[in-house]
Amino acid sequence: MRGVNVSDGVAKAVERKDKFNITAACEVMAILTLASDLDDLKKRCGDIIVAYNKDGDPVYCRDLHGEDAMTILLKDALKPNLVQTIGGTPAIVHCGPFANIAHGCNSIQATRLAMTFADYTVTEAGFGADLGAEKFLDVKCRISGLVPNAVVMVATIRALKLNGGAQKDQLQQEDLVALKNGLPNLLKHVDNIINVYHLPCVVAINQFTSDTAKEIAMVKQAVEEIGVQAILADVWGKGGKGTLELAQAVADLCEKDNSTFTFAYEDTATVKEKIEAVCQKVYGAKDVVFLPEAEESLKLIQKLPDYKKYPVVIAKTQYSLSDDQTLLGAPKGFTITIRDLEIRNGAKFIVALAGKMLLMPGLSRVPNAVNMTIDSDGKIDGLY
């Protein structure tokens, strides 16, 4: 809460201006993804800001002598996990900050470890090129020094039809009109990769059984008209064999090494300039408005010694390129509203809260656990 007044009827009381921070777990997850080793983990834990004193100065976790205890709890969690896919191939799974409220990437350690075991390492950044890809490139790559050779943009015809105005219960039906109207959304995401970040890109059409030949052809044509290859990926139907053409295309892009990677903004930009760069270049916004609460928070942030070099993480709806989830497709001329700013001093980035986006991760009304069953023989159903 902010602006809670406890002075009514109480002599010489002071007005409290505070808020309950529900995002501590998000920052710890972010720290795990970005820490380079145990010493770095400990330092980042100590750098977490837990409060501000009466003078407006930050109180750090290290002031409470909590960094060692936190590091002890997290020392094993810092190590990447080796798991096996359904196809029997190894995968390294480590950390999962949400891309709509955090920076949406697995750990730097996991990526670097995977790169020592294979000629090609594929990593995932969720929620499109406006959220996951932007944060992977502007945050993770900036902090780690990693430079990708190519980007795979995953698209589904169902999602494109939804962006084109089709109803959710009608997505299995062929609808070339809705698909055509939704294609600008995909093209904007591709444009971000090739023209903002200057990286080679290939589009993977994640095939559903309801996709028709005409719909697939329309997506391929639209993507290829802007100079990018679109490849059908039938992972659901054929497993790994359904992505052989895609894998070859990605390998070819990597071998050509045509990457001229650039960030969306420079380290030397101000906090506002960084936010404006993402909103205007990546989202396509016309204007960015900072509410008074965000201006006040910026004053607090500017008291910190290292804030100028921190990247920004914009907490925004994943349902639209704008901060309004009802604006589908590739909207233009819209305004992004930044209602508040928060510092993640341990993770070393600044979070900008856009629109009505909440920082508490949302869950479905009916938990997946409700559909899970196990019988007397140990047979499990409902996991997929």
Taking the C-alpha atoms of residue 101 and residue 361, their distance in angstroms, rounded to an integer, is: 8
Same structural domain, 325 and 250:
no
Helix (H, G, I), strand (E, B) or coil at 327: coil
Same structural domain, 220 and 159:
yes
pLDDT at 20: 52
pLDDT tens sequence across 305-326: 889 999 999 999 999 999 999 9
Which domain, by its residues, includes 243? Answer: 149-256
pLDDT tens sequence across 38-51: 999 999 999 999 88
Last residue of a domain, one of 222, 256, 290: 256
pLDDT at 23: 53
Q: At 362, give phi and psi (nearest 5°).
A: -85, 145
Same structural domain, 158 and 252:
yes
Tell me if 132 is assigned to some domain.
Answer: no
Tell me if 306 is assigned to some domain.
Answer: yes
Tell me if 30 is assigned to some domain.
Answer: no
pLDDT at 97: 82
Angle of helix 38-47 relative to helix 67-74, nearest 10 degrees? 140
Tell me if 126 is assigned to some domain.
Answer: no
pLDDT at 290: 97
CATH code assigned at 202: 3.40.50
Kindly provide the b/e burial profile for residues 49-73, where b requires at least 16 CB atoms within 10 angstroms of the residue's own CB. beeeeeeeebebbbeeeebeebbee
Same structural domain, 158 and 244:
yes
Four-CA torsion 270, 347, 120, 195, nearest 10 degrees: -20
Taking the C-alpha atoms of residue 81 and residue 339, their distance in angstroms, rounded to an integer, is: 37
Taking the C-alpha atoms of residue 137 and residue 198, their distance in angstroms, rounded to an integer, is: 11
Same structural domain, 284 and 226:
no
Q: Provide the domain count of the chain.
A: 2
| pLDDT mean across residues, the chain | 90
Average pLDDT along the chain, 384 residues, taken 10 residues at a time = 50 60 71 93 94 87 93 93 88 87 89 92 89 94 94 96 92 94 96 96 95 96 96 92 95 88 95 97 96 94 90 94 93 95 93 86 76 90 78
CATH code assigned at 347: 3.10.410.10
